[in-house]
Amino acid sequence: MLAVDIEKRLGDFAIKVAFESTGGVTALFGSSGSGKTSVVNMVAGLIKPDRGRIALDDQVLFDSHARVNMAAHRRRIGYVFQEGRLFPHLSVAANLDYGRRMSRLPRDEAEQRRIVELLDMGHLLDRRPGRLSGGERQRVAVGRALLMRPRLLLLDEPLASLDSARKREILPYLVRLRDEAKVPMVYVSHNPGELRRIAETVVWLDGGRVMKSGGLELLDQADLDAL
Amino acid sequence: MFDLTPDEWIAIRLSIRIAIVATAVALPFGIAVAWVLARKDFWGKSLLGGLVHLPLVLPPVVTGYLLLITFGRRGPAGAFLADNFGIVFSFRWTGAALACGVMAFPLLVRAIRLSFEAIDRRLEDAAGTLGASPFRVFLTITMPLALPGIIAGMVLCFAKALGEFGATITFVSNIPGETQTISAAIYTLTQVPGGDAAAFRLVVVAIVISLAALIASEWFARRAGMRYHGD
């Protein structure tokens, strides 16, 4: 379970967010500039909150009172970035293996094969990221984050940089991932349609605050608001 | 006409040895200083940047003289190193390497710093989320991505060290077989009657070595750059 209760000032923008995620796929929903990416960056340990507490299962990742701030590389939280962020000097295979090597996990061929198959990347392994299409790149980014055996997977608008045909190509993989990989996920998106396919609970952010949280029915209201 | 005399060979070999040692010893310091200047903010940062670049703007004679009074036999650093580690700089080829390294240091730092600054730091964040400690991020992401710039800096450093004249001759003089590099030998030959032919031979050698270094660096940089785009 992920429990977040944090405050952060970024220039004129103030974030004050509290929510819990009890497994499955939690959507962080909101328009651009609502603070979604900053929140997941704080969960990942890439930005430090000013105040508050973040806990994953029974481990405290951040607590301003207890002066706990675990370094990002010790958190074991997988992160799929909007732009993939594959390492350009490494092959796809080396990108996929990077998290395992750096987290000093034993080699697990079966798990590797399973993820490569799940994301359909077998024919890409020898290529460099520069030679991948946008959709392939995001699949590799998802695989790379999964292969470090994360306790939690953060996906920050993983489809936003793709055109709608590519989105339709990747979304089924993510749904398969949700059903087969059993890793809790926080899925950031501003797109209700996408979230309906993948999310189970919704946390709706607006202006750095949680406006509402609940089930997928919140997304219907978002559609109405957009009209 | 193009038979190099043994004395000329000695000067050539000495120059190359001095330039290689100067580059090799300067490299780890250059990487460290470039990284600090590219990534850290601290009080006195512009002072450090200024000090590093000083040899570029000071008259070489001044740098050589400062080295002489610091690293000479009676200089504070020179006496300490000689007494405790047996490292002597004054009037030795090691002193020439020190002078060349100091003079070339700004070029080395500048090239490496620029390549550190050009790296997408979001890749380093991504490596962190995959479990890499900051030091391992540096070794596995930052250094490989900066490699073309590091190679370019090394070649600049080598070329500058090869041609350095003013600081070297001020610090360790112009002793054949010990501190007389190609540049110093050319200078000496132009001061004596009938030295033109020998000076010309050394000039050609200097051009050939410098060109070879440039071509080699282009080749290495292209190979390193290809790894970002090719298969």
- Could you report the per-residue pLDDT of A39-73, keeping only the tens digit for each? 999 999 999 999 999 999 999 999 999 999 999 99
Instruction: Return the closest-CA partner of residue B169 out of B88, B49, B60.
Output: B60
Asked if A102 reaches chain B (Cβ–Cβ under 8 Å), the answer is yes
Structural domain containing residue A66: 2-226
Asked if A188 reaches chain B (Cβ–Cβ under 8 Å), the answer is no
What CATH number is given to the structural domain containing A8? 3.40.50.300
CA distance B138 to chain A (A): 12
What ipTM does the predicted assembly reach? Answer: 0.91
Which residues of A are less than 8 Å from B122 in CB distance?
81, 83, 85
Cα Rg for chain A, rounded, in angstroms? Answer: 17
- Mean pLDDT, residues B188-198 taken together: 91
| Six token digits for residue A97 | 């293996």
Q: Are B91 and B175 in contact (CB under 8 A)?
A: yes
Instruction: Return the closest-CA partner of residue A21 out of A144, A161, A202, A155.
Output: A202
Give the percent of chain B with pLDDT over 70.
97
Which residues of B are less than 8 Å from A72 in CB distance?
125, 128-129
What pLDDT score was predicted for residue A18? Answer: 95
Q: Which amino acid is at A209?
A: R
Whether B131 sits inside 8 A of A79 (CB atoms) is no
What gap in Å lies between CA B25 and CA B4, rounded to an integer?
A: 30
Whether A76 sits inside 8 A of B123 (CB atoms) is no
Whether A148 sits inside 8 A of B131 (CB atoms) is yes
What pLDDT score was predicted for residue A227? Answer: 59
Please name each of the domains of chain B with its CATH number: 6-229 (1.10.3720.10)
What pLDDT score was predicted for residue A226? Answer: 65
CA distance A221 to chain B (A): 34
Interface of A with B in 134-153 (CB under 8 A): 144-145, 148
* Best residue of B129, B139, B141 to probe chain A, by most A CBs closer than 10 Å: B129
Summary mean pLDDT of chain A = 91
> How many other CB atoms are there within 10 angstroms of residue B107's CB atom?
24
- Could you report the per-residue pLDDT of A100-159, keeping only the tens digit for each? 999 989 998 998 998 898 888 999 999 999 999 888 999 999 999 999 999 999 999 998
Using alpha carbons, list the distances in angstroms from residue B27 to A82, A134, B62. 37, 38, 24
Whether A45 sits inside 8 A of B129 (CB atoms) is yes
Which residue in the set A79, A87, A126 is minimally distant from B129, CB to CB?
Answer: A79
- Whether pLDDT at A160 is above 90: no
What pLDDT score was predicted for residue B231? Answer: 41
What gap in Å lies between CA B52 and CA B227, rounded to an integer?
A: 32
Asked if A168 reaches chain B (Cβ–Cβ under 8 Å), the answer is no
Report how many domains make up chain A.
Answer: 1
In which band, very low, low, confident or very high, does the pLDDT at B230 lie, cut at 50, 70 and 90?
Answer: very low
Q: Which amino acid is at B63?
A: T
Summary mean pLDDT of chain B = 91
Whether B230 sits inside 8 A of A128 (CB atoms) is yes
Give the H or E element holding residue B183. Answer: helix B182-190
